[in-house]
Amino acid sequence: MKVLVTGGVRSGKSRHAETLLDREEAVTYVAPGPLRDDADWALRVAAHRERRPTSWSTLETGDLAAALGAGGVGGAVLVDCLGTWLTRVVDDAGLWDAPADEVATLVEERTAAAVAAMTGTVVLVTNEVGLGVVPEHRSGRLFRDLLGSVNQRFGAACDEVHLVVAGRVLRL
């Protein structure tokens, strides 16, 4: 089973994604976020860790394809979240100011590899960024457009897509 869980910030999407794996014996929680020294980020990560069962393992990586390729071997995989993964991909490549098509090509290559690697039970969490205003800054517009494309690719590869709004789940 492959499920993409999307929604706005603080909508309840991570909690919902975790409940989808309640019955799994082995779960690898993939945290593909940016590597940063940020107190607020550290608190957010700690809150997620406290909420998860102690039997779940955590893998912090930017190589989503490798993490998803291991999914069928070690049990279920929960990726939280594709938005932080995308940020890390663009950060690591230093491409925030590069031409949009160059960035899109890199992201498409990484996305295609990750989608192709999906095996076993996979639950992916992502942000819905297409419902708001047009961002003022180029980096915001670039991120919105790229994540919209990433979400479409993963959504097409999943068996189900769940939209979470105000803690309520709509199966699309």
The topology (CATH level 3) of 2-171 is Rossmann fold (3.40.50)
pTM, entire model: 0.92
Residue 58 pLDDT > 80, yes or no? yes
- The catalytic site residues sit at 48
Mean pLDDT confidence for 107-131? 94
Mean pLDDT confidence for 50-79? 83
Least confident stretch, 13-27, 72-86, 139-153: 72-86
- For all residues of the chain together, what is the average pLDDT? 91
pLDDT tier for residue 25 given thresholds of 50, 70 and 90: confident
Closest among 5, 1, 31, 2 to 127, alpha carbons compared: 5
The edge-to-edge listing of strands for the beta sheet with 122-127 is: 57-60, 27-31, 76-80, 122-127, 2-7, 160-165, 168-171
For the chain, domain boundaries: 2-171
Q: What is the pLDDT of residue 165?
A: 96
CA gyration radius, the chain: 15
CA dihedral over 140, 41, 15, 151, signed as positive or negative? positive
Is the distance from CB of 151 to CB of 126 less than 8 angstroms? yes
Residue 140 pLDDT > 90, yes or no? yes
